[in-house]
Amino acid sequence: MTSTPSTPSTFGARLRAAVDARGPLCVGIDPHAGLLAGWGLPDDAEGLRRFALTVVEAVAPHASVVKPQSAFYERFGSRGVAVLEEVVAASKAAGALVVMDAKRGDIGSTSAAYAAAYLDPASPLGSDAVTVSPFLGFGSLDPFVEAAERHGGGLFVLALTSNPEGPEVQHARLEDGSTVAGRVLDHLRRLNAGAEPLGSFGAVVGATIGATEEDLAFNGPVLAPGYGAQGGTTADVRRIFGAAAANVLPSSSREVLRRGPDAAAMRDAVRAANDELAALR
């Protein structure tokens, strides 16, 4: 995102301003086949387009952040990716920040290409931030870090996910006794050191992980999927994140999307969630 005199130059600064203005809820725009069917739409590229753009029109003027999951668009091939491009452009035009949920992770020139696709404002998929996986080694994310710094973008790095397979890797102990997740958070703490009002390098930590002994205060944002229909509550966010709760973006998809295609109902769900989450700030 290119900065202007009235636009903060870093993702962290833009995010803080957006959350202060609209609230912290992140709305996932995830066109599951079941949701398309629930809306009475065909499971094809045209149904995808009608679904996704209806959601954008309803929620992007009111949510601080939207998060399209790229896989649900990619499954329709080039027509689906074209819809994803429309979602990115329309969401930005409505004033929402866009986090591309792609969970990419590779090495060298391949990482650089992914970073260009999702973080370069010249790209049709250029977003404010992208989700990435550090499990090829945190250094494999260097091209993403460099692109984020160059373009004023951000990253959300997988750290403590709520899927049952996650602890096998994330809770593993390193030679110094720290966990893999703890090491990821340490890297983010280093990247965000001295950033004001908030760093641009965030973590993905599930809102339904139960509890953790990791230090979640790393001067960066936290994307917390699982809020709402998947069981995560405002009380869970407060309990899990403690003093860092003000930096958390609770993410909800089905809790909002299942209210469609009624645009007013989706809008009201966003507003109600942000009203409840205001207690965290």
Q: What is d(CA 37, CA 258) in angstroms, rounded to the nearest whole number?
A: 11
Active site residues: 103
Alpha helices in 152-201 (DSSP H): 167-170, 180-191
Reduced to 3 states (helix: H, G, I; strand: E, B; else coil), residue 162 is: coil
Place of tokens 């790209």: 123
Q: Give the chain's end-to-end CA distance (angstroms, integer).
A: 27
How far is it, in rounded angstroms, from Cα 28 to Cα 55? 10
Q: Which two tokens stand for residue 112?
A: 């650089």
- Gap between the Cα atoms of 25 and 18, Å rounded: 11
